[in-house]
Amino acid sequence: MTALLEVEDLRVAYGKIEAVKGISFTVDAGEVVTLIGTNGAGKTTTLRTLSGLLKPVGGQIRFNGRSLKKVPAHQIVALGLAHSPEGRHIFPRMTIEDNLRLGAFLRSDRPGIEKDIQRAYDLFPILGERRKQAAGTLSGGEQQMLAMGRALMSQPKLLMLDEPSMGLSPIMMQKIMATIAELKAQGTTILLVEQNAQAALSLADHGHVMEVGSIKLSGTGRDLLHDESVRKAYLGED
């Protein structure tokens, strides 16, 4: 069976500096796959390239069997690949509800849009309680909820989450991770970049450890969680 997402020998450069150096991995439908690694490893660059914001200098990206090589970013969203970016990038002066509606900008099925807005409020009740407030009044964790909810509004076949727990309190991080687990239980396919390696690997079916633009280690989430080198380097254990 063909994987939903196939990345083959992907290379991405900023000028003469190669940030991603020929990585390959797949994501099957229904899976959670995580990329972990230190800052500068190339994880965010990888997601930005998959979503069409950056152009690769080599390799292949196939989504649902289709090459994304010449597909612009907005059409990639239409194909079913959604990106909740690092830093959230919500619109602070717009209401929470209007931010969510922006996630459905390619859709015209009004009843479906209303249903998915309600789904976002079911996932994140605080958003529903404050739906008419400006998004900028939300805490960092609540803004992350909004960014995830907005990405889900495009009805993605694959949801990419970039550092969803960054800068959050431990309690809010637990809430975000619990929501990702709930999305997984609902069958959502997720590609997760996450600084909290333990939380990410605990959720993931498969994981890849990136270092300076390359994948150095791959395995099931469970295997990587118990790998001695991963535990020392990313879980803070001696």
Averaged pLDDT for residues 9-15: 96
Give residue 238's pLDDT.
55
CB 6 within 8 A of CB 68: no
Neighbours of 105 (CB within 10 A): 10
Provide the pLDDT confidence category of residue 6 given band limits of 50, 70 and 90.
very high
Give residue 118's pLDDT.
96
Query: What mean pLDDT is reported for the chain?
Result: 93
Residue 126: pLDDT over 70: yes
Provide the pLDDT confidence category of residue 237 given band limits of 50, 70 and 90.
low
Residue-range domains of the chain with CATH: 5-86+158-234 (3.40.50.300)
Averaged pLDDT for residues 200-225: 96
Residue 230: pLDDT over 80: yes
Averaged pLDDT for residues 88-96: 91
Give residue 85's pLDDT.
86
pLDDT digits (tens, 9 = 90+) for 165-177: 888 888 988 989 9
d(CA 49, CA 179): 25
How are beta strands 32-36 and 206-211 bridged, if at all?
Answer: parallel
**3-state helix/strand/coil string of 13-71:** EECCEEEEEEEEEEECCCCEEEEECCCCCCHHHHHHHHCCCCCCCEEEEEECCEECCCC
Averaged pLDDT for residues 138-157: 93
How are beta strands 189-193 and 32-36 bridged, if at all?
Answer: parallel
Give residue 86's pLDDT.
84
